[in-house]
Amino acid sequence: MIWILWVVLGLIASYLLSVVVIGFIVYSILLLRTSKQKWARKPSIPGDEEYMRLYEDGMRWREENLSFKKDVAINSCGYALKGEYFDFGFRRAVIVIPGRMESCYYCCHYAAPFKAAGWNVLTIDDRAHGLSEGIVNSLGYKEYRDIIAWAKMLHDDLGNTQVLLHGVCIGSSAALFAMTSGDCPPYMVGMIADGMYQRFLDSFNKHMVEDKHPKPPLVYPMIMLYVRLISGADVTNDGPFYRIDRLKKPVLFLHSREDSYSIPEKAQQLFDKCTAPKKVVWFEKGAHSRVRIKNPQAYDEAVIAYLAETYGA
């Protein structure tokens, strides 16, 4: 009967090895830049019609404002990071922070209301995206330091007296981590969060369900272990929900009632836990990270009105 035991142990060992391998493959697809073509400035979902309308809208805005644009770069945590700065001659600027897989071109979709409200616009390639250096996506847990470095450049080198953060999805998480950091400078005056989630783990699980991926035993915990060890992100016991009550500066929450990743109930809980000066604007239409493309006029009007009442004309 000993051979049966060895067979069982062999099967267990084989399965555990497959868990390790499959977990890393999924992790690398999600959070490792394995080539320069991955997460470049080109559209990340070229087969998605609505996404392409969003991307092309941003590119139209960029083309219309090329005369105000200059390429900018910083070094943060050893990475050479790239961006595009649209200088409209104002004394304050917004940093538009994209979500996973997106670049500074994507950010241009969100730029119009800021120009209209009297803010210069910085669109950025996060580390491991676009033309920026890096391999690992850390879901904002390390990138927030880059945001602070970009803000310093805007203030010290380009003469902006106020810097605002506008984050989309993971970008809003990075913005929150920057705003609640002990290194947050006084000229970083507030943030706008489009589709902020409570924890990345919740969004990950929802994504796996929607895409109908199987859930074999131990594989998902293994993926999260790689996220913790390589990305340095504790997506189980940390995230916006655990830090939102540390925020002291003003924040505008933008949420869609159709968002299946940052679902309305959890978004409301996040808003309720926030003790900073705050406002939430709900939109009836729009999937996650698709709010503005569904409600462009209402979205822009909400942002412009909020900026006027919070920071003045």
d(CA 197, CA 220): 19
Report H helices in the chain. Answer: 2-31, 49-64, 104-107, 112-117, 143-152, 170-179, 200-210, 219-226, 240-243, 264-273, 291-294, 296-311
- CATH classification code of 46-198+239-311: 3.40.50.1820
Q: pLDDT at position 157, please?
A: 98
Predicted pLDDT at 126: 98
pLDDT for res 9? 65
Question: Could you tell me which of 253, 277, 247, 274 has the C-alpha nearest to residue 177?
Answer: 247
- Whether 238 shows a pLDDT value over 80: the answer reads yes
Q: What is the pLDDT at residue 212? A: 72
pLDDT interval class at 7 (50, 70, 90): low
User: Which of 12 and 279 is assigned the larger pLDDT?
Assistant: 279
Q: How many CB atoms lie within 10 A of CB 108?
A: 25
Which has the minimum average pLDDT: 9-13, 119-123, 125-129, 222-226? 9-13
Q: DSSP letter at 229?
A: I
- Extents of the domains making up the chain: 1-31+204-233, 46-198+239-311
Question: Which of helix, strand or coil describes residue 193?
Answer: strand
Whether 13 has a pLDDT exceeding 90, the answer reads no
- Coil/strand/helix, residue 191: strand
pLDDT at 15: 76
pLDDT tens track for 36-75: 999 999 999 999 999 999 999 999 999 999 999 999 999 9
Are the beta carbons of 173 and 196 closer than 8 angstroms? Answer: yes
- Under 8 Å between Cβ of 262 and 197: yes
The average pLDDT across 214-225 equals: 87
Q: Which residues lie across from 95 on neighbouring strands?
A: 122, 165
CA distance 214 to 76: 38
Contact 80, 134 (CB under 8 A): no
Taking each helix axis as running N to C, give the angle between helix 219-226 and helix 2-31, from 0 to 180 degrees, rounded to the nearest 10: 50
Is the pLDDT reported for residue 8 higher than 70?
no
Quick one: 287 exposed, middle or buried, by C-beta within 10 A (0-12, 13-18, 19+)? Answer: middle
Q: 10 Å Cβ neighbour count for 297?
A: 8
